[in-house]
Amino acid sequence: MNTIIGENYYTGILDDFIIKKEDVDVFNKLESFIKKYKNYTKLFFISYDLKNNIENLNSNKKDKINFPILHCVVPEKTLLKKDFINLKKSENIYVKFKPELTKKDYLSKIKKVKSHIQKGDIYETNFCYNWEAQTKINNPYNIFKKLESLTKAPFSVYSEIGEHVIISASPERFIKKRGNKLISEPIKGTSKRSKNSDLDQRLINSLKNDPKERAENIMIVDLVRNDLSKVADKNSVTVEELCEVYTFENIHQMISTVSCNIDEEISFSQILKALFPMGSMTGVPKVKAMQLMEKYEESKRGLYSGAIGIMKPNGDFDLNVVIRTIIYNKANDCLSFKVGGAITINSLPEKEYEETLIKAEALLKACQT
């Protein structure tokens, strides 16, 4: 295993814990593993399908990537990112991805999803679709290097783990624990950037004041507040920041910050069961939204919509949301990434489609080095 998170490079596997199929005892086993390696740094790779161990759900869609439901690793060594970069050679790469949905198919599905909102089955959901390519990549780190330069995303991850390579430029934090405080930073609301500074500022203002974008962000904030309340100390759930627009290298995003305090006896698994999957990738009501997306999405989400992160020996942890992420299965030479967005009653299918292309743009460019 070789994994880069932030400026650290984690290499080798001292021990690991893998769940490849649904297991009713997964959380007890996970807590036993965490307790066994309490004084060690641990890396977590959590697939969206862990939801099936939390709620009465299932996932039966096609999946060429086949990432485990859960992989927790105790790395042998922690070095600096530069130590890994020096090992890699340059390689010219050109990958042509194909989306699983045509624009016509996408628009048709969004209209069907919106019919459920009209009937009151859900208020908001996150609909995703897959892009795929079939080719051999000898040096996938080159894709990550390009993607990192295009996005400068704060929660990027590069990992060579088992038969998979993860190339992630995630801008979103799922959940962070520092002492007795939990912090979640859901993203809902996206805008392209402009090289013209005046136009770029207008795009920021337009996003910040867009009623539809604010409504979808606020709905997810309410969901996160509800999820946090399952583990929070009484009256400690706080919205620290609501609908603030942050600018990244290639995109503007609307982000809110919700926090709470927890008792020191609350375990990692209890937090996961309360919050996972994250509200920004599911919808409201959460379970019904996940059920409907299982019906309308063509592919299993796998690691996409899951989380990757680190737990320190003191029990503090930081997990991202796996979005803007390419995954390469070395066993079958399949590369895949997914894009999606929030759908509400005010969503315009054409505009939602354009937003998915904005999110895909950097991923596509990174694969042409």
What averages of pLDDT result for each successive group of 10 residues across the chain (369 residues)? 95 96 89 97 98 93 96 96 76 91 98 97 97 95 94 96 97 98 96 93 95 93 97 98 95 97 96 97 97 97 98 97 98 97 95 96 93
Quick one: pLDDT at residue 88?
Answer: 66
Quick one: pLDDT at residue 229?
Answer: 98
Quick one: pLDDT at residue 92?
Answer: 81
Q: How many CB atoms lie within 10 A of CB 192?
A: 16
Quick one: pLDDT at residue 260?
Answer: 98
Number of H helices, E strands in the chain: 9, 18
Quick one: pLDDT at residue 188?
Answer: 93
The H-or-E segment that residue 354 falls in is helix 349-366
CA–CA distance from 219 to each of 120, 226, 338 (Å)? Answer: 15, 11, 23
CA 20, CA 305: separation in Å to the nearest integer?
17
Give me the domain span that covers residue 153. Answer: 2-366
Quick one: pLDDT at residue 91?
Answer: 75
Q: Sign of the CA dihedral 82, 84, 87, 91? A: negative
Q: How many CA atoms lie within 13 A of 94 on its CB side?
A: 0
CB 151 within 8 A of CB 248: yes
Q: Sign of the CA dihedral 306, 362, 299, 18? A: negative
Question: Of 66, 27, 42, which Cα lies nearest the Cα of 162?
Answer: 66
Write the CB contacts of 108 (distance below 8 Å, at least 6 apart in sequence): none
CATH of the domain at 101: 3.60.120.10
CB 320 within 8 A of CB 308: yes
- Cis bond leading into 277, ω under 30°? yes
Q: What secondary structure letter does DSSP report for 216?
A: H
Question: Of 107, 151, 153, 157, which Cα lies nearest the Cα of 129?
Answer: 107
Question: Of 136, 139, 165, which Cα lies nearest the Cα of 1?
Answer: 165
Instruction: Mark residue 313 as left, alpha or beta (left: phi above 0; alpha: psi -120 to 50; beta: remaining).
Output: alpha
Q: How many CB atoms lie within 10 A of CB 32?
A: 11
Count how many domains the chain has: 1
Q: Are strands 164-170 and 317-320 parallel, antiparallel or unpaired?
A: unpaired
In DSSP terms, 70 is beta-bridged to 19, 46
Q: How many CB atoms lie within 10 A of CB 232?
A: 20
pTM for this entry? 0.96
Q: What secondary structure letter does DSSP report for 233?
A: P
Q: Which residues are catalytic?
A: 172, 188
Question: Of 204, 184, 194, 188, which Cα lies nearest the Cα of 258?
Answer: 184
Encoding tokens for residue 67?
């990432």
Residue at 47: amino acid letter = S
Question: Of 319, 268, 297, 305, which Cα lies nearest the Cα of 49?
Answer: 305
Quick one: pLDDT at residue 222?
Answer: 97
